[in-house]
């Protein structure tokens, strides 16, 4: 039977996929804590918290405070992410560090808190927004893809640690989705409201891994198997 969420944290609720998740969860009657640096959706069932995920030291106390404010927790979604533009000849440590800080270290800091709480409770759902970009080392964005590969591997480890205790750990792998992050993407983009709907459906079903939309699973089934010399020539 699909899981119903009553109390949720969405990290990265100010824009794109995270913002849509906050809106849809709140509309379903779930009490939602939305976190980000910028303005976030307002309305019934939504509490907002100004937060920069690179303020790692603040995360354990903030997590506990939000659980008290909500009166419990059954869902954590980590949706924060950055993907600065990178020129083909650019190797910027500053940009790379920003991606590692937000996409990797912020994710670990938040998901560790939820894993500990949910593991002790023997219930709960952790959803990580990864990306198809983590499936191969592609030329245009070396560190962005690597952060998403890290996140997927980390989430699989969490699942293998606490899945048997009744905790669902769901890795979401969107393809190009119509959000501000993908503004420069030429080509088809999946509508963000439908992406959020499919993400919540995967979370409620407790899926291990979900490509969004599912057709991405077919495309990346092939891309994951392309020989390295071919990937080098394709440069996509």
Ligand X SMILES: NC(=O)c1ccc[n+]([C@@H]2O[C@H](COP(=O)([O-])OP(=O)(O)OC[C@H]3O[C@@H](n4cnc5c(N)ncnc54)[C@H](OP(=O)(O)O)[C@@H]3O)[C@@H](O)[C@H]2O)c1
Binding status of residue 186 toward ligand X by CB under 6 A: no
CB of 155 to ligand X, least distance (A): 13
Of 46, 73, 79, 200, the one binding ligand X (CB under 6 A) is 79
Task: Provide, rounded to whole angstroms, the least separation between the CB of residue 53 and ligand X.
Answer: 4
Of 11-19, 24-32, 117-125, 220-228: span binding ligand X (CB under 6 A): 11-19
Q: How far apart are CA 162 and CA 169, in angstroms?
A: 9
Per CB under 6 A, does 128 bind ligand X?
no
- Residue 170 contacts ligand X per CB under 6 A: no
| Of 12 and 124, CB closest to ligand X | 12
- Closer Cβ to ligand X, 122 or 218, answer by number: 218
Of the candidate spans 31-39, 111-119, 161-169, 196-204, the one that interacts with ligand X by CB under 6 A turns out to be 31-39
Residue 82 found at the interface with ligand X (CB under 6 A): yes
Asked if residue 156 binds ligand X (CB under 6 A), the reply is: no
Which residues contact ligand X (rule: CB under 6 A)?
12-18, 36-38, 51-54, 79-83, 102, 129, 131, 174, 176-177, 179-182
């Amino acid at each position: 039977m699909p899981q119903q969420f009553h109390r949720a944290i969405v990290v990265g609720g100010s824009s794109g996929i995270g913002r849509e998740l906050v809106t849809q969860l709140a509309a379903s009657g779930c009490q939602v804590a939305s976190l980000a640096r910028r303005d976030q959706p307002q309305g019934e069932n939504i509490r907002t918290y100004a937060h920069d995920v690179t303020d790692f030291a603040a995360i354990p106390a903030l997590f506990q405070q939000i659980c008290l404010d909500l009166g419990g927790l059954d869902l954590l979604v980590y949706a924060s992410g950055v993907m600065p533009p990178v020129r083909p000849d650019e190797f910027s440590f500053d940009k790379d560090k920003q991606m590692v800080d937000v996409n990797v270290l912020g994710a670990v800091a938040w998901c560790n808190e939820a894993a500990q709480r949910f593991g002790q409770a023997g219930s709960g759902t952790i959803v990580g927004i990864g990306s198809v970009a983590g499936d191969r080392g592609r030329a245009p964005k070396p560190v962005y893809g690597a952060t998403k590969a890290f996140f997927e591997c980390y989430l699989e480890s969490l699942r293998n640690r606490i899945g048997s205790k009744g905790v669902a750990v769901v890795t979401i792998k969107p393809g190009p989705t119509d959000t501000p992050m993908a503004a420069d993407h030429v080509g088809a983009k999946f509508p963000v409201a439908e992406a959020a709907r499919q993400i919540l459906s995967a979370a409620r079903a407790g899926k291990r891994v979900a490509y969004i939309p599912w057709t991405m699973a077919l495309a990346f089934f092939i891309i994951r198997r392309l020989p390295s010399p071919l990937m080098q020539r394709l440069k996509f």
